Amino acid sequence: MEHLLGIEWEIVPAGGATGEAFYAKYEDQRLFLKRNSSPFLAVLSAEGIVPKLVWTKRLENGDVFTAQQWLPGRELKPNEMNQERVAKLLKKIHQSKPMLGMLSRLEKKPLLPENLFQIVLNELDHEVLSLSGVQKTIAFLKQETKNVYSEEKVVCHGDVNHNNWLLAEDNQLYLIDWDGAMIADPAIDLGLLLYWYIPEENWEQWIMMYGKKLTNQLKLRMKWYVALQTISSIQWHKNKERYPEMERWISFLSEIV
């Protein structure tokens, strides 16, 4: 790492699941470094969705490093997800033509409900499949697959957890960690955010801030994608032997379907 920046820089791992991210510091300069991040990062930076991209460097071994501004700030708290700026930023993302164009050039194909359903179904082991809540959910997903098709295909983040919303000290809001970006129905992001953070009686108001109307069809699409994500999360936590979290997702499933 030192040959990228110079020996005077202090470089430390930034944590995270991949181990590919680092913080770099030298005097009053601060950078966030990542190995082999997607070319999509450039358009995210240009659109003001993530902190500014400072440089990109390709090494002789083929690895590509990117450096972004390392901004002082904090994650949003769960009770801040009801704010208008969250709705407005998500709308900006979903309406961005440059972001959609870049993902399309990276050969990302729009994900259809039946494809996503099959992907998740293939992940589930016998034990998870035998859970009564999962069986009930799969029956619901099968029954409604044809009814949740939407012509609307946008860039979705896929994990709008409050931990991924960065509020910088200058009050600028960013949505970070785009490794799971996809072209799909915006109901994927909307459903996860509303089900996780917004009381149902406030959904209509939040969706109005986003710039949509809360129709029965949108509600069905959101419910469908959240149910699908939830059974996928049950399996993911089981694979990681995180059993208390797995039980929480099983409990959450009973609130959806």
CATH classification at residue 34: 3.30.200
Structure confidence at residue 63 (pLDDT): 85
For residues 137 and 156, membership in a common domain is answered with yes
* Whether residue 63 is found in the same domain as residue 108: no
Residue that terminates a domain, selected from 70, 101, 123: 70
Q: Report pLDDT for 36.
A: 82
pTM of the model: 0.91
Average pLDDT, integer, range 92-97: 98
Q: What CATH number is attached to the domain comprising 249?
A: 3.90.1200.10
196 shares its domain with 89: yes
Per-residue pLDDT reduced to its tens digit, 122-137: 999 999 999 999 999 9
Q: Which of 15-19, 153-157, 166-170, 241-245 has the lowest mean pLDDT?
A: 15-19
CA distance 24 to 205: 42
pLDDT at 105 over 70: yes
Q: Where are the alpha helices (DSSP H) in the chain?
A: 2-5, 40-46, 84-95, 97-105, 113-123, 126-129, 132-144, 187-197, 203-210, 216-239, 243-256
Give the pLDDT score at 234: 98
Residue 19's pLDDT is 62
Q: Domain check: are 147 and 216 in the same one? A: yes
115 shares a domain with 36:
no
Query: How large is the average pLDDT for residues 65-79?
Result: 94
Residue-wise pLDDT tens digits, 228-240: 999 999 999 999 9
Specify the DSSP element, H or E, that contains 14.
none
Residue 57 structural domain: 2-70
22 with 128, same domain: the answer is: no
Catalytic residue selected from 28, 63, 125, 159? 159
Phi and psi torsions of 33, nearest 5°: -105, 145
Identify the domain boundary among 70, 94, 114.
Answer: 70
Q: Please check whether residues 141 and 99 belong to one and the same domain.
A: yes
Same domain, 19 and 126: no
Do 204 and 164 share a structural domain? Answer: yes
Q: Are residues 49 and 100 in the same domain?
A: no
Split into its structural domains, the chain has a count of 2
161 and 205 within one domain:
yes
Radius of gyration of the chain (CA): 20
Exposure b/e, 100-131, CB count within 10 A at least 16 = b = bebbeeeebeebbbeebbeebeeebeeebeee
Q: Tell me: do 66 and 109 sit in the same domain.
A: no
The per-residue pLDDT for 219 is 98
Per-residue pLDDT at 5: 82
Q: 174 is written with which tokens?
A: 């960013």
State the pLDDT at residue 189.
98
pLDDT of 17-64, one tens digit each? 556 888 899 998 899 998 888 889 999 999 999 999 999 988 888 888
**In the prediction, which pLDDT does 16 show?**
61
Query: Of 49, 70, 91, which residue is a domain's last?
Result: 70
How much of the chain exceeds pLDDT 90, in percent? Answer: 81
* Annotated catalytic residue 159: yes
The pLDDT of 144-156, averaged and rounded, is: 97
Note whether 41 and 53 are within 8 A (CB).
Answer: yes
- What is the C-alpha separation between 54 and 47, in angstroms, rounded? 14
Calculate mean pLDDT across residues 95-120.
95
In percent, how much of the chain has pLDDT > 70?
A: 97
Distance CA 85, CA 54 (A): 25
Q: How many CB atoms lie within 10 A of CB 225?
A: 25
CA–CA distance, 237 with 229 (Å, rounded to integer): 12
Confidence of residue 163 (pLDDT cuts 50, 70, 90): very high
